[in-house]
Amino acid sequence: MPAMRRTCSTCHNGVEQDGESAGKTDFQEMFPGAAGKTEVESGHVAKKKALIAGATGVVGRNLLKHLVEIGGWDIVALSRRRPDVTGPYEHIAVDLMDPANCKAQLGALSDVTHIFFAAYVEKPDLTDWVNSNVTMLRNLVETIEPVAGGLQHIHAMHGTKWYGSHLGPFKTPARENDTRHMPPNFYYDQWDYLVEQQKGKDWTCSSARPHAISGFAVGNPMNLTMVISVYAAISKELGMPLCHPGTAGNYSALYQCTDSGLLARAMVWMATTPACANEAFNITNGDLIRWENTWPKIADYFGMEAGPRRQINLAKYMADKGPVWERIVAKHGLQPIPYQQIVSWPYGDHVFTPGYDIISDTGKARRFGFHESIDTEDMFFRLWDQFREAKIIPA
């Protein structure tokens, strides 16, 4: 049979169909039995080798942990420092911004079958932001692709900024085929690069679009659960109630989150399910919250009174609280993680400022076969229980 061309419905203005054909691609029309099945479910269990870029971040770390736990994968973790995850995997320190360093460190990885790209660099200038994040992806792909003849899939981690959620009110619920906003947005450039690079190749690509990823990773403070728990600990230490720090609109708007464990499982599902070839998927917990309903429960969890909503700029008001956090660490015998590495207050402002709904339609993922969901409030409490047990936050 001649090689089959796989098209990217989410990148060429493809429109999802309704009714019986909803969620089907050209791939599924040719091989209907493959739809929604992973390699294991379809009886094909080949040796897989994952290359995880950004393995110390909240996405990469929890993906690494998941692959170690499920087994069946050889794993290479890429990051400047070794991840704090135990298990059988190889760690390589590499500078993804440097093509020469990439080739020197990674050029011998000829048996890689799956690339999971979760690396990210923050830049204040938008042009530099786009160029830097695209450069890292390009350097990695153009190092591995020429030597890895068995490359099967490349997964890129994106998010709801694809829909302009960071710019102001946007169409909700957001669907994967919604019109792009005015660039720059490095998600677009990364995806367009993969689509172009993939033409005529045997490997495929996919992308997850989560929101407010929640989990833990040392030195990766852009994490909602850490923002809330550290803010609560400092408020409690100062004898204050737990006041929602955002806008009035934010307090009552609908909001969504993504558990890092659920996201890891979804990433592996996309990378190993033939029906997901060249597709993007919204991945969230599957429910919605309003802070006005959830915040009192959070205060109760931390043994605090829920105070009145009081908007503050977290980046400014929490900047001088390092000594308070150090006092908390000493008092409760917590891990001595530097204040600057445990929480990102600008990220907190990003979460608690918007006064509009943040909602993604996750129906496409369900139609393609991913049905997992998590109660967001339960997720918060479960993660904080884990953080307490690990001596990250006080009990």
Q: Each residue of 119-178: pLDDT tens digit?
A: 999 999 999 999 999 999 999 999 999 999 999 999 999 999 999 999 999 999 999 999
Cβ neighbours for 6, distance < 8 A, ≥ 6 positions apart: 25, 26, 27, 198, 204, 277, 278
| 156/280 Cα distance (integer angstroms) | 9
> pTM for the whole thing?
0.88
The enclosing H or E element of 339 equals helix 339-342
CB 304 within 8 A of CB 242: yes
Is the backbone peptide bond immediately before 184 cis, with ω within 30 degrees of 0? yes
Q: Each residue of 98-110: pLDDT tens digit?
A: 999 999 999 999 9
pLDDT score recorded for residue 27: 31
pLDDT score recorded for residue 45: 53
pLDDT score recorded for residue 1: 37
Q: Each residue of 329-381: pLDDT tens digit?
A: 999 999 999 999 999 999 999 999 999 999 999 999 999 999 999 999 999 99
Chain-centroid distance of CA 188 in Å reads 16
Question: What domains sit in the chain, N to C, each tagged with a CATH number?
Answer: 47-210+259-282 (3.40.50.720), 214-257+287-360+374-389 (3.40.50.720)
Residue 222: which pLDDT band, with cuts at 50, 70 and 90? confident
